[in-house]
Chain A
Amino acid sequence: MQLSFVVFKTMKKFCVEKTLKTSVGSTRLGHLELPLFTKAEEGNDGSSNGRSKIDYATPMYFLHTQTGSIPHITAEVLKLIYPTASDTSGQIPPVQISLDATAKFIEPLSKFENGVGKFVGLSEHPIFLTIHDPLYLLRSGHNDKFGIALWSRHGRRPLSPKQFHEAVTAFKPSISQILSDYDVNPEISGMKRLKKSLERAEEYTSYVIKQEETTEREKKKNTGFFITIEASWFLMDEGLATKAVLRLLESQHQIEGVVLAGLSDRFVKKKQEDEVKKDSNGKGSGDSERMDICETLDIELLDKMLQNLPANLPKYVPGPFKLPEMMDLVARGVDLFDSSLASRMADYAEALLLDSVEAILPSISTTMVAMPSSLSEGLAERADKAERQEPPSNSEEGEGAVISLKDKKYFDDFGPLSRFCTCYTCRKHTRSYIHHLYATDELLGPVLIQIHNLSTLDRFFSIMRALVKENDSPESLLEKSALMRNLLKARILIKIEKEDKVAVPSV
């Protein structure tokens, strides 16, 4: 551990620790070092703003925010989810903030001088400034020679490369995505539109890099930049797209990562439209601008996008992918994700369960310690006070990787969300209580679900990293990944016998 730390200090901010080539792709473990912006104390030598650095093991996720806040989670509550850096995963995730919803911060932040992290109450987390909220659907039009359009609940706001540069200067993020002309739709755009988008990608990137080179000397901001490559480019013309990406990467020593954009948008848009038409379960029109959870992933498209990317750059795929799809992305070498899945699930009262994986953890990982399969102390005590009853028959059949707490069957279920989870919510609150909170529209419901889901996502990434770390043959990695993936995919949890014998489903 010590050794790898020393090695990567002398390298770029990202280093690959281990790569395992399998039949599906290059799966890897890495380290991403992110500087944390802190304003210099008065009286320093004028080299001003200091930055301490935090080392993150990848694959990992950024905390998804809306208007700068993790949905439902205040800074105070966040500390209950990640109490110290020495908890299970050993790392407190950095934060992703999108410019679309926070463009209005540019003005105050240019006077604030402490950076966006401090402004939104998350000063202990490095910030990744992205252009779009991974949950907000983009609209077509208004990307022109002056810049791109940002969409938020405030409506449209134009963003030129110059304004983007000003935003980065004011926000002082650890890393930032470079703006991209995303408005290419294979169904309606012509080749001319595609070429424009590709040209602009180059223009924007070289403008931003040039601007940063000149300002950096004065202000020492040390923001790292991620270029954006659009899925739609590859859908329209793989050859042109590949050439453009290679040109973008020519300025590689300045580029610190890649955002693979549009893998989630495409699928969700259509589904969302259908859903709005159906107007099924009372989802308002405002909700139609938010993305649904991604059930599918276009692997072929992903492979095309990944093909020419250098191994030494970290790759981020934004969006609310389900856990099996995140596993597919990890298997192909994607390093960075966000917690938009958890944000979306809180809306639906859905809780992530890793129970099926935890129940057979020793057959997946040799180093991860299984969470105790019992009611945690507080709950056990309260279960004594609560009227003793047989566990509800439905939970004996087992549950899938997701349960909806709106379901009436949890009305009198005094168990924790997950029997294997030791998060704050599972230590203190019951399914019955959470069901009640959602039934009465109390704000605490989404808070408790979000606490649990973020904790579970954290656990998921720890298991994923352990999986890659422990397996040295492609076959064993694939076999164990497939086992875990199937468990997460299964609609119904395999019945766990008292002796903990588990029958693995074939999917």
Chain B
Amino acid sequence: MGSKSALTFKVLAECPVTKARASLMTLPHGAVETPVFMPVGTQGSLKGLLPEQLEKLECKLILGNTYHLGNRPGTDLMKKAGGLHNFMHWSHDLLTDSGGFQMVSLLELAEITEEGVKFKSPYDGSECMLTPEHSIQIQNTIGADIIMQLDDVVSSTTTGPRVKEAMERTIRWLDRCMAAHQFPEKQNLFPIVQGGLDPELRKECAKELIKRDTPGFAIGGLSGGESKDDFWRMVHISTDILPKNKPRYLMGVGFAEDLVVCCALGVDMYDCVFPTRTARFGCALTFTGQINLKQQKYKEDFSPIDPECTCSTCTNYTRAYLQKIVTHETVACHLLTVHNVRFQMRLMERIRSNIKTGTFVEFVKSFMLGIYPDKKYPTWSKDALEAVGITLS
């Protein structure tokens, strides 16, 4: 590790067949076993759950959004509060994004220049500019254990010279972010591999980034509407180049199948709003797929969502009762959020323990069979797994 790093990464076990590995990542607010899924707590809370509930779910690393927190409560208050950990009373690890993605996706008028992302303030309409320096400054104030560089994000379906421009600018912005970073000894700045769906650009970007001594790497610009076939190939190419002794974070990925496949491709960290968002719509995650509790068929189903799940929802509540309250009572939202976060944690636990016991390949096969009992596997997952030595039959 570089002398200025606030992260240690120790690979505990590697799958002898695939690129999967189980590791221990130690951050300023505690150690985290990877592969890890990070639920998203956008504005300084995780969808109605108390920090203590997250601890019980064995969730030790969550994500906050710089764009939202920078607006409300704002950096002045964040500074007074002594950072986000203190503000939200969270004693474990945090990761913040750069704010650039929200800006480009939420604000129609955002314009990207070499200087930064220019946008109209949604509050007073004034012209604002988010530069790499400014993003890091906000993230330094928030104080997360892992912070992200501002990257030039283009839609994953964009083609042509703009993709190359964005990739090259992302590297230039990384250098500016690194120069602006005030606390490398307590916050870990991750660069982001860009390059759209062009294998050569991806390779070039990854090779350029690894010249900098950063504590970990992210793979960005994916999971945005591109085909799954493109998606896995880009992940595969990136993890081939990124160093084995540092964590790899795939941004915006959280479906169970994607997590299992991408772990096989050698990814260590994930985040996604999906498990918590789908909870609001009455959907619960299980190892055999997602169930929608609004459906009438659960009316007299007195079993828990998942009999094997030990979360407080599954120990106290039946599907029949959840059917009566989903999408109407906030309690239902809390209950499904608890279950869905726990599901993500259980899935990652299974992935890790199977890597450690050398049974990862068997696990992947049985997991895939669980969601596709008819063995009609999607071509992309078959291809992706085949590429790392797992044949689904």
Measured CB to CB, the residues of A under 8 A from B are 66-77, 80, 102, 104-105, 107-108, 111-112, 119-121, 153, 378, 382, 385-387, 389, 411-412, 414, 424, 428-430, 432-433, 436-437, 439-440, 442-444, 446-447
Contact = CB atoms under 8 A, between A and B. Distances in A.
7 contacts: A76-B53, A102-B324, A111-B300, A112-B318, A387-B79, A437-B44, A442-B47
A102 B328 CA distance: 13
B299 to A, nearest CB: 6
Q: Which of A121, A378, A430, A437 has the most CB of B within 10 A?
A: A121
Contacts of A119: 318, 320-321
Contacts of B299: 107-108
Nearest to B323: A108
Nearest to B334: A74
B46 to A, nearest CB: 8
Q: Which 10 A-B pairs have the closest CB atoms?
A: A443-B48, A385-B82, A76-B312, A121-B316, A69-B331, A444-B45, A75-B316, A387-B80, A440-B43, A386-B82
Contact of A108 (B87, B300, B329): B300
Contacts of A437: 44-45
Contacts of B72: 436, 439-440
Contacts of B89: 378, 382, 428-429, 433
B81 interface: yes
Interface string B153-177: 0000000000000000000000000
Nearest to B325: A67
B58 interface: no
B107 interface: no
B330 interface: yes
Given A67-B328, A120-B321, A447 B50 contact: yes
A167 to B, nearest CB: 15
B50 A121 contact: no
Nearest to B56: A76
B389 interface: no
B393 to A, nearest CB: 43
B155 to A, nearest CB: 28
B392 interface: no
B81 A77 contact: no
B105 to A, nearest CB: 18
Given A108-B302, A444-B48, 12 more contacts: A66-B329, A69-B332, A71-B330, A76-B338, A107-B299, A120-B321, A378-B89, A428-B51, A432-B77, A433-B81, A443-B330, A444-B45
A140 B320 CA distance: 32
B49 interface: yes
B160 to A, nearest CB: 38
A383 to B, nearest CB: 9
A111 B321 CA distance: 13
A433 B302 contact: no
B20 interface: no
A74 B338 contact: yes
Nearest to A116: B321
A442 B299 CA distance: 30
Contacts of A387: 79-82
A385 B86 contact: yes
A430 B44 CA distance: 13
B331 A432 contact: no
